[in-house]
Amino acid sequence: MNDRLLVLVRHGQSEWNLKNLFTGWKDPGLTEKGVAEAHEAGRKLKAEGLSFDVAFTSQLVRAQTTLDLALKELGQTGIPVVKNLALNERDYGDLSGLNKDDARKKWGEDQVHIWRRSYDVPPPGGESLRDTLARTLPFYVQEILPGVLRGQRTLVAAHGNSLRALIMVLEKLSPEAIIARELATGAPIIYRLNADSTVESKKDLAA
């Protein structure tokens, strides 16, 4: 019987997470804590007895490094890895690189909160969560899900908002519910799917 295993993991803490900056498509690396979180993600997956046939990640180094370190812990550095823009973090546009407190001073607390926590209001020059879903979900449906349903054990290392897009579909969440969902850095979420692509079981390895 097919395992239909799909594991999602948000990248470890990045240098800009630490500095409270809007990151988006900017490309900072992991902090020491982020590196440790990536190793720990791999160890947690190994402790669950999991192995993988294929992995997917974004075109941003913080997600790629997280994947590399997790696979190293699993002893699986040789599996195929697909890197695609569709899994990139939400593009924060003009906010990218700004300190979140400075952004609040410039645009006001309420406006920045709307940009960060609304479903369909993008920041200037950037993407809303709905925009992010519009590029992430087709890639999931066309490139990731068919392999999972064929029994390819699949690991996806990506970002808070691109993973929210997948979780929204997997868990059938409303726009309001997915906006409120927090994803811990470096904490794998293990899904096993039914043949019709619905979720059979879920296990969140957040400590």
pLDDT at 180 over 90: no
Asked if 97 contacts 22 with a C-beta cutoff of 8 angstroms, the reply is: yes
Hey, which residues are catalytic here? Answer: 11, 89
Q: Could you give phi then psi for residue 202, rounded to 5 degrees?
A: -140, 140
Q: Is 173 exposed, middle or buried (0-12, 13-18, 19+ CB in 10 A)?
A: middle
The per-residue pLDDT for range 95-135, each reduced to its tens digit, is 999 999 999 999 999 999 999 888 999 999 999 999 999 99
Q: What percent of the chain has pLDDT over 90?
A: 92
Domains and CATH numbers, the chain: 5-204 (3.40.50.1240)
Q: What is the largest CA-CA distance in the chain?
A: 56
- Residue 177 tokens read as 């519910």
pLDDT, residue 35, reads 97
Cα distances (angstroms) measured from residue 57 to each of 15, 17, 61, 176:
19, 19, 9, 26
Q: Is 196 exposed, middle or buried (0-12, 13-18, 19+ CB in 10 A)?
A: exposed
The per-residue pLDDT for range 128-145, each reduced to its tens digit, is 999 999 999 999 999 999
